[in-house]
């Protein structure tokens, strides 16, 4: 059976060069970076090199990089650390409705400490309007967090404009860049961001390695205390092997990204062109032009997304329905609901995220296997049966059951 991997938004395969760089630090180079002997010095130098490599990938200074264990940890550190460090200035936070749960949940949790938050809506393409952001900022607003690009629908935010709005009003802005890094060039210095989160597994590095960029002189309180690591901002013995792997992956990604992005976009355009010709009643999601290369988000009417994934997996095709953090809850994606899709359509979502190693043959294989899967599942669908009879397939549905409305 042929195997096709279209789930790069959730995890990318480890680069051989990154794996090779990690291996010495998994066996013979086992020293603690804080030790003063040779083994400690070797580990310390390796981390410093990785910090330079990771910083270069996003055009930052090495000293502005804080290593973490994941983008989720970076988001938590940014949200909680920046808010608590600036509590004397106010208690109001703004985030968009399509943020990753590692941004939304910490913000909601801060209510227990007396903080307030506003969920800022998006348009049908998933973009935040800078004018609406400006109107939402209050005198007591201390932090705004809006992702650079969305991992489920691929929409890229007008980040430069949003940053300008925040800084004009004297408010810090953090951005989750996990979906963007490894697909588009990122220059945090040019953007003038205050904080930026990302993860190694998004650009062919190891799992268990992430980073938070923090603009120089920006105050932040640590989540993990008890050590001097990462300039006292994240205590605990460093995961040297993972950090080294992240650094090597960053170095390679920076040099090869233009070619990778061109290849991913070319293949994605084939899917956008060919799929509607082969399967009727598809709804594509995301912005038509401000979009990550290689990300195809669609809804297949009258078919459950989970069933699609299982049938595709039987054919050797790995894909996603929503993000990995929400797919197993069997709930409709909060991102798709936020852009205006109803629950039934949102639950029919399919996310195809291509990577640097995908080929035209992979796309051909998918285009060959996908239509009969959809047809088979639709024949089993009561919604599709109602549609064929000329009835409204959703007429019997009442309410959406949205239990996550916050203001």
Concatenating the DSSP letter of every residue in 303-342 gives S-HHHHHHHHHHTTEE-BSS-TTTGGGTPPPHHHHHTT--
Pairing of strands 295-300, 349-353: antiparallel
Catalytic residue among 19, 253, 299, 325: 325
Residue 83 CA to residue 245 CA, distance in Å, equals 31
Q: Give just the sign of the alpha carbon dihedral 256, 197, 354, 358.
A: positive
168's CB contacts (< 8 A; 6+ apart) are none
First CA to last CA distance, the chain: 49
325 catalytic? Reply is yes
* Residue linked to tokens 């932040």: 220
Instruction: Name the token pair of 83.
Output: 């808010």
Residue 98 near residue 334 (C-beta atoms within 8 A): yes
Residue 102 CA to residue 75 CA, distance in Å, equals 6
83's CB contacts (< 8 A; 6+ apart) are 93, 110, 115, 142, 143
- Give, in order, the Cα–Cα distances in Å from 20 to each of 253, 285, 286, 303, 309: 16, 38, 37, 43, 33
> Which of 342, 87, 322 is CA-nearest to residue 219?
87
Helix (H) or strand (E) holding 215: none
Where are the extended beta strands (E) located within 247-294? 282-285
| Widest distance between CA atoms in the chain | 78
DSSP letter (8 states) at residue 193: -
* Residues carrying an active site annotation: 325
């Amino acid at each position: 059976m042929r195997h096709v991997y279209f789930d790069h938004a959730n995890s990318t395969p480890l680069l051989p060069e990154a794996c090779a760089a990690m291996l010495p630090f998994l066996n013979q180079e086992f020293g603690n970076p804080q030790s003063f002997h040779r083994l400690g010095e070797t580990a310390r130098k390796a981390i410093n090199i990785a910090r330079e490599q990771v910083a270069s990938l996003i055009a930052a200074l090495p000293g502005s990089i804080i290593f973490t264990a994941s983008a989720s940890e970076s988001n938590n550190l940014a949200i909680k650390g920046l808010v608590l460090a600036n509590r004397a200035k106010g208690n109001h936070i703004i985030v968009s409705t399509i943020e990753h749960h590692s941004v939304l949940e910490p913000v909601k949790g801060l209510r227990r400490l007396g903080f307030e938050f506003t969920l800022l809506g998006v348009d049908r393409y998933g973009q935040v309007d800078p004018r609406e952001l400006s109107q939402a900022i209050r005198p007591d607003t201390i932090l705004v967090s809006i992702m650079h690009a969305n991992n489920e629908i691929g929409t890229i935010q007008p980040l430069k404009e949003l940053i300008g709005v925040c800084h004009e009003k004297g408010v810090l802005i953090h951005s989750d860049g996990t979906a963007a890094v490894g697909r588009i060039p990122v220059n945090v210095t040019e953007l003038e961001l205050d904080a930026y989160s990302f993860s190694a597994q998004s650009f062919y590095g190891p799992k268990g390695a992430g980073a938070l960029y923090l603009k120089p002189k920006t105050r932040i309180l640590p989540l993990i205390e008890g050590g001097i690591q990462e300039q006292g901002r994240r205590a605990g013995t460093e995961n040297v092997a993972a950090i080294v792997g992240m650094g090597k992956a960053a170095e390679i990604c920076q040099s090869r990204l233009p070619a990778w992005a061109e290849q991913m976009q070319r293949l994605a355009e084939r899917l956008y062109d060919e799929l509607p010709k082969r399967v009727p009643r598809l709804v594509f999601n995301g912005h038509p032009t401000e979009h990550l290369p290689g990300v195809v988000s669609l809804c297949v009417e009258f078919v459950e997304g989970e069933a699609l994934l299982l049938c595709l997996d039987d054919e050797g095709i790995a894909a996603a329905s929503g993000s990995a953090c929400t797919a197993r809850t069997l709930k409709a994606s909060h991102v798709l609901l936020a852009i205006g899709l109803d629950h039934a359509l949102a639950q029919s979502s399919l996310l195809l995220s291509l990577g640097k190693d995908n080929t035209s043959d992979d796309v051909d294989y998918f285009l060959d296997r996908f239509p009969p899967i959809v047809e088979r599942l639709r024949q089993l669908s009561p919604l599709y049966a109602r549609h064929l009879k000329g009835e409204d397939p959703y007429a019997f549905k009442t309410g959406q059951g949205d239990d996550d409305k916050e203001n």
